[in-house]
Amino acid sequence: MANIELDGVNKKIKVDSGDLTLDVPGDIVLDADGGDVVFADGGTNLLKVTNSSSDVVLQPQVDAKDIVFKQYDGTVVATVEDNATFNIPASKLAIGGTAVTSTAAELNILDGVTSTTAELNILDGVTATAAEINLIDGGTARGTTAIADGDGVLINDAGTMRQTTVETLKTYIGAGANAPYFAARRSNTAQTVANDTYVTIVFNTEVLDSAGTYNPSNGIWTPGTAGKYFVFAQVAFTVTNAADWDSGTIIIDKNSAGYTDTNNKNAMAYITRRSSGSGTDSFYVSQIFDLDADDTVRVQFQGGWAGASSNETVGYGKTYFGGYKLA
Assess if residue 321 is contained within a domain: yes
Q: What pLDDT does 139 receive?
A: 65
Q: Is residue 135 in some structural domain?
A: no
Which residues face 323 on adjacent strands? 182, 231
Is 144 within the bounds of a domain?
no
Whether 321 and 185 map to the same domain: the answer is yes
Same domain for 164 and 186, yes or no, is: no
Residue 234 sits in the same domain as residue 202:
yes
Q: Clarify whether residues 196 and 296 are in a common domain.
A: yes
Residues 165 and 202 occupy one common structural domain:
no
What does the pLDDT look like over 31-73, one tens digit per residue? 888 889 988 888 899 899 998 888 999 889 999 899 998 999 9
Name every residue whose Cβ is closer than 8 Å to that of residue 207 and which is 6 or more positions away in sequence.
183, 184, 185, 320, 322
Beta bridge partners of 79: 68, 87
Amino acid identity of residue 243, one-letter, is A
| 199 and 159 co-located in one domain | no
Judged on CB neighbours under 10 Å (0-12, 13-18, 19+), 47 is middle
Give the CATH number of the domain where residue 304 resides: 2.60.120.40
Residue 169 lies in a domain: yes
- The reply to whether 74 falls in a domain is no
Rounded Cα distance between 253 and 260, Å, is: 11
**Co-location of 225 and 159 in the same domain:** no
Are 232 and 297 in contact by the 8 Å Cβ rule? The answer is no
Host domain of residue 167: 149-173
Q: How many CA atoms lie within 13 A of 196 on its CB side?
A: 10
Q: Where does residue 173 fall: left (phi above 0), alpha (psi -120 to 50 degrees), or beta otherwise?
A: alpha
Q: Answer whether residue 196 is part of any domain.
A: yes
End residue of a domain, out of 47, 65, 83:
65
Kindly report, residue by residue over 121-157, the tens digit of the pLDDT.
888 888 888 777 777 776 667 778 888 888 888 888 8
pLDDT value for 245: 59
Which pTM value belongs to this model? 0.48
- Residue 90 forms part of a structural domain: no
Please check whether residues 186 and 290 belong to one and the same domain.
yes
pLDDT attached to residue 67: 92
Same domain, yes or no: 169 and 186:
no
- Alpha-carbon 237 to chain mean position: 52
Based on the domain organization, do 195 and 257 belong to the same domain?
yes
Residues of the chain with pLDDT under 50: 263-266, 306
With respect to residue 260, please indicate whether it lies within any of the assigned structural domains: yes
Residues forming beta bridges with residue 222, ordered by sequence position: none
* Domain shared by 194 and 317, yes or no: yes
Number of domains in the chain: 3
Residues 168 and 193 in one domain: no
pLDDT at residue 265 in the model:
46
> Can you tell me the distance from the alpha carbon of 65 to that of 72, in angstroms, rounded to the nearest whole number?
21
